[in-house]
Amino acid sequence: MHLVLINPSLFSPKEYKARFDKFLDWVKKGNMYVYPFEPPLGLASIKAALENGGFKAAIIDQQGYTMERSELMERLKSCRPRVVGLTCMTSTFPVVRELAAVIKKELPETLVIAGGVHPTVCPGETLRDSAIDVVFRGESEITLQKFLAAFPGGPWQETPGIGYMENGDLVLTEMPLQVKDIDRLPMPDYHSFPTPNYMEYNSHLRGIKGISMLVSRGCPYECAFCAVKATMGRGWRARSPENVVAEMKKLHKQFGIEGVWFKDSIFNMKKAWFLEFCERLLAEKLPVTWQFNTRVDLLDEESLALAKKAGLTQIDLGIESGSPRILERLKKNTTVDQIISGIKLVKKHVRVSGFFMIGTPGETMEDIEMTFNLAKTLDLDCCSWSIYNPLPGSELYDRLAAEGRLSRRNISEEVHFTRVPVSFCEVPVQELNDKYEEINGYFAV
C-alpha cells in the first residue's frame, strides 16, 4: 500500500512571491495571516504513526516548496500511489477540491481522501459534488492505519471517523476515540517537509532560527469564534514535559534550530505541567529559546520568572478586542483591565505579541476604534491582526447560519483573514477592508 499525503498550497509560487514582497514589513511585525506558511505538523505526525505501524507513506509539501501544481502532478504520476490524502482547512477547501478533481482526472484509479478541520466539521460539503472519495474526521493517526489495513478488499467502511457517499447519501461512521496519551504517538517526521524553508520564514516572523511544535490537543474554553473544541475536543491533552524537551533536543541536533514556537492554542494550560517543563529545560541546558501562545488570564509572576530562565523570549496573547461589549460577545471571559495588566506582567520578563480581530458580528466602527486605540497603548513588540470570517464548527458560525446570514455566499468559496468579500459586522465591507489596511500599516512602521 503506497500512500502520499499532500499539503496543498493556498497560493501559486508567483502569488506567494508577490505577497512576500508586498507584506514582508507586516510579517516582521507579527502578522501571521498575510503570508500563511506553517509546516504541516499534522501530516508529519500521521506519517510517523503510519510508518511506526508498518505502512509506507510519503509527504509532498506543495506549500513548503512553493511548488507549481504541474510539478506536484508529475510527482504523483511518477509514483502512482493507490491512495492520496489531502489536508484541508476551511480556508484551503476550494484549493483542495480543485486539486482533488485534477488528481482524479489524471489518476482515476487513485482513491482520494481528505482530513483536517474542514472535513471534520463539514463532511457532507467536502464530499458532495467533489472528487474526494472518503473524509477522515477527528484525529487520524490511528484510524488511518485501520482504514489502510482493510482497504480495498476488507471492511474499510467500518473504520471509525470516516465519511463517504453511497448511492447519493452521506454515510458517517462513529467518531473515533481521541488519543488520550499522546506520548504514545511518535515524533512528527520533520524530514518529510523542507524544515529549512520554514525556519527562514520564522526568522522573519519571530526573529528566531527555529520551527513550530505542537504538543497538546483540545481546549476547555468557549470562545465563540473558534472551532478547536469541535475538532480536538474540550479536554486538554498534552505530551509529557520530558517528551517535549526530548523533541526539542532532537530538532536542535538534526536541524540546528535555535528557537521553537509552540503553536498550541494554550501552552500553559496547567501550571504544574508548565513548571515541570521549565525545570526540565533548565536541567538540560539546551541552547534553544522558545515562544508560546496563551490567554491574558493564565499568567503569573512565578511561571514567567522561571520560564525566562529556561529560555522563554516571547508570549503571544489572544487579545482579540478592546471593546468590552465585543469581548463578551466573543465569550473570551476576559476584560480590558486583565489585558492591560497581563501585558504589563509579561513585559517585565519577555517580549509580547497580541492577536487581534476586527469585523465580529455586531461590531461597529466605534468598537474597532476602541481595539485600535487599545493596541496603540499596550507597548506590544508585535501583533497579528485578522478580519473575522465565520468558521464552521464555531458558535458564531452556527448563530449566523440560524439567522440566515450565510446565504449571501458559499462560506467555503473564500475564507481568508486579511481581506473579506462580505462584512458580518455593522461596518460596510470596503470600509472594513480599508480599516484593516490602515491598522496594519500603522503597526508595520
* pLDDT for the residue 413: 54
Contacts by residues 102-106 (CB-CB < 8 Å, ≥ 24 positions apart): 102/69, 102/73, 103/73, 103/76, 103/131, 104/131, 105/131, 106/73, 106/76, 106/77
What are the phi and psi torsion angles at 312 (to 5°)? -65, 135
Mark whether 296 and 349 lie in a shared domain. Answer: yes
pLDDT in tens, 120-164: 999 999 999 999 999 999 999 999 999 999 999 899 999 999 999
CATH number at residue 19: 3.40.50.280
- Say whether both 39 and 106 belong to one domain: yes
How many structural domains does the chain have? 2
Chain-centroid distance of CA 215 in Å reads 13
- Structural domain containing residue 77: 2-172
Q: In which residue are the cell numbers 469541535 written?
A: 230
**Is the residue at 177 inside a domain?**
no
As a whole number of angstroms, the distance between CA 138 and CA 211 comes to 25
- Alpha-carbon distance of 61 to 195, in angstroms, equals 11
Which backbone phi and psi does 310 adopt, to 5 degrees?
Answer: -85, 5
* pLDDT tens-place string over residues 168-215: 999 999 999 899 999 999 999 999 999 999 999 999 999 999 999 999
Same domain? For 8 and 114 the reply is yes
pLDDT of residue 292: 98
Pair 300, 426 in one domain: yes
**Are residues 141 and 199 part of one domain?**
no
For residues 342 and 285, membership in a common domain is answered with yes
Same domain, 62 and 95: yes
Mean pLDDT of the chain: 95
Cell representation of residue 82? 493507490
pLDDT for residue 406: 86
In the structure grid, which three cell numbers stand for residue 289, read together?
529559546
Q: Give the C-alpha separation, 322 to 302, whole Å.
A: 27
Indicate whether 138 belongs to any domain: yes
Q: How confident is the model at residue 2 (pLDDT cuts 50, 70, 90)?
A: confident
In a domain, 20, yes or no: yes
Nearest to 145 by CA among 79, 57, 60, 84: 57
**Nearest C-alpha neighbor of 277 from the set 250, 316, 238, 314:** 238
On whether both 160 and 205 belong to a single domain, the answer is no
257 and 111 within one domain: no
Query: What pTM, to 2 d.p., does this model score?
Result: 0.95
| CA–CA–CA angle 403, 318, 64 (5° rounding) | 95
